[in-house]
Amino acid sequence: MSVLLTVSETISGAAYSDALAGGGTGIDLGSVINGQYCPIISQSANTGAQHVYVRHNATIDPITSLSMFLQNFGVGTGFSYFGAVSAASDRTRILNMGDASASVNANNADGLGGGLHIDMDWQVNSTNQFAAARIGAQHNIFGDSGGAAAGIGRDLATAIAMHVDAMSWNNTGTETDATTPVAGSVGKTGNIVLGDRAHFLMRQFLRTDEVDGGILQVEVVMSYSYTA
């Protein structure tokens, strides 16, 4: 049998169903202005992020090799594109933004941060979330090359693996840290060892010198392995 994921905003909530431009549903990160990020609450306090919980419906074995990459909007969902230029252009632009991100400030106070960022530590505090010092570990940026020829998270071969610090379990409504988590592995419901869900945070950063505006749409693909 197939194993299906539920991607939700809360620990046991329904799947994300924000209305998207063009008529589809998914996650709408909102609007972002130059030199900031979205979702945003207080830039000075470094607060605001999109929380994402990922769980599955397998009843015996865990899923493994959970990772993420970007693809053109509409390829997997079949939704109509309604962005500023084209689906391919949006994906390339987001990846390029990430590769050009050079912020040393978690809250983009220097205006040098850009692209789609993920923080894979569900327990991170507001001071440290999306901190530059954690890039390459819990904090990753789609398209970031780190000096290499091409960036991460642009396809399956360069997908970003889910970090061990993202793993938690639903302890009767209270999120609790997995006891012995494994990178990329999410256990069945009630698995306290591996955790029964992955929980990460997302933000879209925008550099101060970014000149192109408009709606950007992209698909975040989650790849994983399972046994039925």
Judged by DSSP in three states, 6 sits in: strand
pLDDT tens digits along 109-154:
999 999 999 999 999 999 999 999 999 999 999 999 976 667 999 9
pLDDT tens digits along 23-73:
999 999 999 999 999 999 999 999 999 999 999 999 999 999 999 999 999
Residue 213: per-residue pLDDT:
87
Residue 139: per-residue pLDDT:
97
CA 89, CA 77: separation in Å to the nearest integer? Answer: 18
The reported pTM is: 0.96
Closest-CA residue to 135 (of 146, 147, 149): 146
Residue 200: per-residue pLDDT:
98
Q: Is the pLDDT of residue 22 over 90?
A: yes
pLDDT band at 212 (very low <50, low <70, confident <90, very high): confident
Burial class from Cβ neighbours inside 10 Å (0-12, 13-18, 19+) for residue 147 reads exposed
CA distances 180 to 31, 133, 186, 223, Å, are 38, 25, 11, 22
CA 142, CA 130: separation in Å to the nearest integer? Answer: 13
CA 63, CA 48: separation in Å to the nearest integer? Answer: 29
Joined together, the tokens standing for residue 73 give: 């909007």
Buried b (16+ CB within 10 A) or exposed e, 195-214: bbbbbbbbbbbbbeebeeee
